[in-house]
Amino acid sequence: MASQGVAEDALDTTVEEGISRDERISRPDMASSSPITPRPTVALSLLILGGTTEASRLAALVADNAEIAPVLSLAGRTREHAPAPIPLRVGGFGGVAGLATYLATNSIDAVIDATHPFAARISAHAASACAIGDVPLARLTRPAWMPEPGDRWQVVPDMAAAVAALGSTPRRVFLTIGRQELAPFNGAPQHHYVVRSIDAPDGFTAPQATFITARGPFALADEEALMHAHAIDVLVTKNAGGAATAAKLKAARNLGLPVVMVARPPEPDVPTFHEPSEALAWVEKLARAKKLASPSHRAAP
């Protein structure tokens, strides 16, 4: 069983399901080496559900905006996380009720769900909790990958279907689905798996496996070399979208390899943005509305 370190899915690390019982609140002055911008009392209180590159980019955009008082929340699913330019909260909420309580207790004015496209549970919990508290909610997510000429994709709805798509004949399978959804592949031990994830997986018992702990972005030449070196027959991945790990799809296309692509779960019906700047504009509009509605603003001559 081999292991090697390289680098998988950018910052898509911390909010896969977001229900960790461990809850640690980072001191604001420890979240970044930069001083926290003073906020007026009418600043919009914003919760960013993060764990992605998009969330980090949005956090950077709001860090110096005096009209917004942001908090970045990470589920803590990976063993390490990058420093944040805004106050950072690490840990789960305890389901819908816990999140609704957090929103009310902390007087949250708006929520941006910038979690991973496959963090379906936390997205559903966010939608339900915001509905309970009548808190505005928007989604910030990268566009899904789309097949291009020469691709040999087989799109499947879930991991069980991905396992079935591999068939009974032994194959060399490149798994880039993260470390938390590997269990279904234990039921197909005839294959040799090359598993790449940010942290080493737990509970993967397939007898033939090579583990690569890695974090993107990845270069096309490196992806092609990896697939050659491991004699890969098929790539299994989730439609996470984004540029950091897209090179594996082009490498598979160039090498004529089939791809088993797990489709994204359904998204809640909320305003959705693909760029952090678009989400920022939505938040700034809410911040202006709150300022105009504040007693101090109405009382001003």
Q: Which domains does the chain have, with CATH numbers?
A: 23-143+266-299 (3.40.50.720), 145-262 (3.40.50)
Measuring CA to CA, how many Å separate 107 from each of 80, 135, 292? Answer: 29, 10, 18
Helix (H) or strand (E) holding 174: strand 172-176
Model pLDDT, residue 1: 43
8 Å CB contact between 256 and 152:
yes
- Report, as ranges of residue numbers, the positions in the chain whose pLDDT lies below 70: 1-41, 77-81, 296-301
How confident is the model over 67-80, as pLDDT tens digits? 999 999 998 765 56
Model pLDDT, residue 6: 35
Beta-bridge partners for 213: 5, 197
Model pLDDT, residue 147: 97
Model pLDDT, residue 231: 99
Which residues touch 233 (CB under 8 Å, ≥6 apart)?
A: 171, 172, 173, 257, 258
Model pLDDT, residue 228: 98
Model pLDDT, residue 190: 98
Q: Cβ-count burial of 81 within 10 angstroms (0-12 exposed, 13-18 middle, 19+ buried)?
A: buried
**Cis, bond preceding 207 (omega within 30 deg of 0):** no
Q: What is the reported pTM?
A: 0.80
Q: Which of 244, 124, 126 is nearest to 176 (CA)?
A: 244
Cα separation, 273 vs 275, in Å, equals 6
Helices (H) and strands (E) in the chain, counts: 8, 14
User: 3-state class of 150 per DSSP?
Assistant: coil
